[in-house]
Amino acid sequence: MKNILVIGGGSWGTCLSKLLVENKNNVFLWEYNEKTRNVIREKRENPVFLPNIKLPNELNVVDSYCETLKNEKIDVILLATPTQFLRPILKNLKECLSYKVIIVNVAKGIEIKSKKRISEVIDEELSGKDYSYVLLAGPTHAEEVALKLPSAILSVSLDEKAALEIQHLFSNSYFRVYTGTDLVGAELSGAVKNCLAIAAGISDGLGFGDNSKAALITRGINEILEIGKYYHADPKTFMGLSGLGDIIVTCTSKHSRNRYVGEELGKGRKIDDIISSMKMVSEGAETIKALYAIIKENNIQAPIMSALYEVIYENRPVNELVSLFMNRNLRSEFI
């Protein structure tokens, strides 16, 4: 049995808390919103983010993650906090973390201001602290994992021992965990696929068919590979669970909030209106801001991602995303 602190009571944080309790661990869940915390504690359900899923009585809902770190010997900290809100959490953690832990991150994104990956943000904020970092990423919607539908995911870390430990901690009969070491590639693919899912959703919102979306996704994967070259990531990673696997589920699923954002954009709604009406965060709508800057500053060939940013934030007509895709100069596929 491990003592695990989960920071973030959204759908994924709640779902993984449930799974870890069922895997016979001692789990402490902290959620930013006090009202939501109290509902989870009293009702044993998270009706806002994971409705109709009964949570174990053994799940400990806490009001302070710092107090929990001080009073309990925590083995693993699971960060289930959206990328753009992560720094304040990390600053607080640095003040109250006094022993070695494994930090597992399940968020996917690139910080807008710094254009840094999440592992880089954590390294910066927790400088001097003793920890191992593991990314848990793959084609896994919380709504399905909570129902114990078979799923597979990747535990990736530069510390192979930590990756193996997390593999065994999370694995069970319906949740299969593989290990990997290409942290850069896994973080990039997890971040950029959310942007691609918005583009796929735009295709849906415009009423185009399967051919259109399949072509858009495939060319989008090519752009992800180009971005990966800039970061010297292993191209095989983009064909694995944290790459192609996550792209498939995020670009096609009814559960995908990023695909939903794109669909609503395709129907003519504006981004501020869409985001304000959502209960959960669209990581892709934020990541595209950092990604666009990276593409422009480094002259990376990524026309779909560039046009996506301009559609969302520069009032470019939404149908021009498809026009750009279809009307570019004819060329060979792989040059």
**C-alpha span between 270 and 260 (Å, rounded):** 13
**C-alpha span between 327 and 323 (Å, rounded):** 6
> Is the separation of the CB atoms in 188 and 117 below 8 Å?
yes
**C-alpha span between 32 and 39 (Å, rounded):** 13
> Is the separation of the CB atoms in 265 and 318 below 8 Å?
yes
3 state DSSP class of 64: coil
**C-alpha span between 151 and 126 (Å, rounded):** 32
Type of residue found at 208: F
Query: How distant, in Å, are the alpha carbons of 156, 191, 214 from that of 13?
Result: 18, 18, 31
Q: Of 193, 254, 267, 270, which is the active-site residue?
A: 193
Which of 190, 168, 175 shows the shortest CA–CA distance to 283?
190
- Determine whether 193 is an active site residue: yes
Please give the backbone phi and psi of residue 196, each rounded to the nearest 5 degrees, phi first: -60, -35
Which residues are known to be catalytic?
Answer: 193
